[in-house]
Structure 1
Amino acid sequence: MPPTDESTDAGTARAPRADPGSGSADHAATGSDPRPSTDCEDTLDLRLTDELIALFAADTGARDGTGEGTAAYGIPDGSSGGSPGGDLYGSSYGSSGRDPSGSPDPFPVEDDLLDQVGGWGPTKTPAGVFQLVPVRAGRDVSLLHRWMNDPAVAEFWELAGPETVVEDHLRRQLDGDGRSVPCLGVLDGTPMSYWEIYRADLDPLARHYPARPHDTGVHLLIGGVADRGRGLGSTLLRAVADQVLDRRPACARVVAEPDLRNTPSVSAFLSGGFRFSAEVDLPGKRAALMIRDRALRELL
């Protein structure tokens, strides 16, 4: 099934065992059909100057203490309050559509099947200003590799190992047709979580529950140990589910399928406005089907 366990405060989420690129149930966290070519023959090969590189390097201090810089994500910090609809990629991404490493942007935000997740913009939450930023392989693999090798995360996502394991997992989504969008969750300017927003109605998950058109699924893991166990998962799940419902008018439900063994994750979904719908048997796990309904949005 889609990377199965949305890890919230537990920082865990089980990953698919099959080849998601084939459209199997495991693709929810991986991807699907090949995406159109991103040929960049007509794009200028712009390079960052030494001064800009030095500026980015100076803007460091990630939430998990690893020294990850935040300038590359172009997200306003909490002091500025952010502004919905602001520049998603900031100074690191110009009109060339390239990431700082010089690689072509593999996933234009206008190219997904989820109403342009990358353009949803920041949202204010009780925890700070939060934004989903589509993953860029050249920029984000090292960070995700470190998170995936945390034993608490690896237990469910099963993506521990060399960086190539994470790269392959991301590539199946980035090269897919846009039905699954991998994102970093950036809180007050710092990347601190990993998300996969996907079309549950187009996923093999739909074989296991009465899916409706445009059902949208989420997977989540909290990256830093310091961010777990203090309610951030519930806060961010509610914020992202509300963004889905606000930005996708055709979507009536946000769904998730955390592993039943991951009780902190199930609890976070319940606290985040989801309701427990059923237990479902998915490849590799027994899951709790969690649903946030548009019709019950103001009640839960």
Structure 2
Amino acid sequence: MSRTEHPRTAHLQHVEGFGTVRVDRIDPDADAPLVHRWVNEERARFWGMHGTTVEQVRDIYAHLDSLTTHHGFLVHRDGEPVAVFQTYDPEADRISECYEARPGDIGVHLFVAPTAAPERGFTEGLLTVLLDFALTGRTRIVGEPDAANEKVLARLARTGFELGPEITLPEVDLPEVFIPEKKARLAFFTRS
């Protein structure tokens, strides 16, 4: 699989025993129906898009696609879509009101797609690739999962993230996007 076959590919990496992971910029028109199905499941309540329509999902990712500071990606393993990954410049995001960003910081969000048959080691394998991708040219990852999402917080701690304090991310109310206030927990990952 070459990058020319997938013009929106941002990263391609093979992990022995796990497979080939391809990280493509989200195509808002083509990918919205799939992402919409994922984010409207009950398990996705912390993602913040529960109850959206396909058109709203398309509009959200079209807005992200128009920015130079925030990016949405559809992650594939061996050709199958398995996750949504978002990166952002913390200094251009509401999180900048809640912690002191350092040069080299990059913010991330990860949503692993639902699966009928959970696979042991899957999230760990996926995170290996996504952390490599996010840290390209960067020194530290910052995340801010929902403070009530104990499962994700435990996963981040096992992966090597340092859990920080709880924060309140302020509401964003702009003509092109609305994001409600959120109680979150800071999490930092620095490559050793």
Residues 156 and 138 (structure 1), Cα distance of their counterparts in 2 relative to 1, 3 Å cut: closer
* Aligned partner letter, 2:164: S
Identity, % of aligned positions? 25
SS state at 1:139 partner: helix
Partner residue in 1 for 2:12: 121
TM-score normalized with structure 1 length: 0.55
Instruction: Write 1 or 2 for the structure with the bigger share of strand.
Output: 2
Query: Which structure would you say has the larger Rg?
Result: 1
Aligned residue among 49, 52, 67 for 1:158:
49
Partner residue in 2 for 1:140: 31
Partner residue in 1 for 2:79: 189
SS state at 1:182 partner: strand
Residues 189 and 255 (structure 1), Cα distance of their counterparts in 2 relative to 1, 3 Å cut: same
Computed over aligned residues only, the root mean square deviation of the Cα atoms, in angstroms, reads 2.2
Aligned residue among 165, 188, 192 for 1:291:
188
For 1:240 and 1:269, the matched residues in 2 are separated by 13
- Alignment of 1:218 with 2:108, yes or no, is yes
Partner residue in 2 for 1:236: 126
Partner residue in 1 for 2:177: none
CA contact (8 A) 1:200 1:214 kept: no
For 1:281 and 1:269, the matched residues in 2 are separated by 19
Tell me the matched-pair count: 182
Partner residue in 2 for 1:149: 40
Partner residue in 2 for 1:253: 140
Residues 156 and 229 (structure 1), Cα distance of their counterparts in 2 relative to 1, 3 Å cut: farther
Partner residue in 1 for 2:3: 88
Structure with the larger RCO, 1 or 2 (CA within 8 Å, 6+ apart): 1
TM-score normalized with structure 2 length: 0.83
In the TM superposition, 1:260-299 aligns within 5 A as 260-283=147-170, 284-294=181-191, 297=192
CA contact (8 A) 1:270 1:276 kept: yes
CA contact (8 A) 1:170 1:182 kept: yes
For 1:170 and 1:136, the matched residues in 2 are separated by 8
For 2:76 and 2:41, the matched residues in 1 are separated by 19
1:171-195 C-alpha deviation (Å, 9 max, x unpaired): 111122x211100111111111111
CA contact (8 A) 1:237 1:269 kept: no
For 2:16 and 2:60, the matched residues in 1 are separated by 30
- How many Å apart are 1:143 and its aligned residue? 0.7
CA contact (8 A) 1:121 1:131 kept: yes
- How many Å apart are 1:237 and its aligned residue? 2.3
For 1:119 and 1:143, the matched residues in 2 are separated by 20
5+ unaligned residues in a row in structure 2: which ranges? 171-180
CA contact (8 A) 2:169 2:184 kept: yes
For 1:161 and 1:228, the matched residues in 2 are separated by 26
* Aligned partner letter, 1:131: R
SS state at 2:61 partner: helix
1:14-72 C-alpha deviation (Å, 9 max, x unpaired): xxxxxxxxxxxxxxxxxxxxxxxxxxxxxxxxxxxxxxxxxxxxxxxxxxxxxxxxxxx
For 2:69 and 2:154, the matched residues in 1 are separated by 27
5+ unaligned residues in a row in structure 1: which ranges? 1-75, 77-86, 94-108, 110-117
CA contact (8 A) 1:234 1:269 kept: no
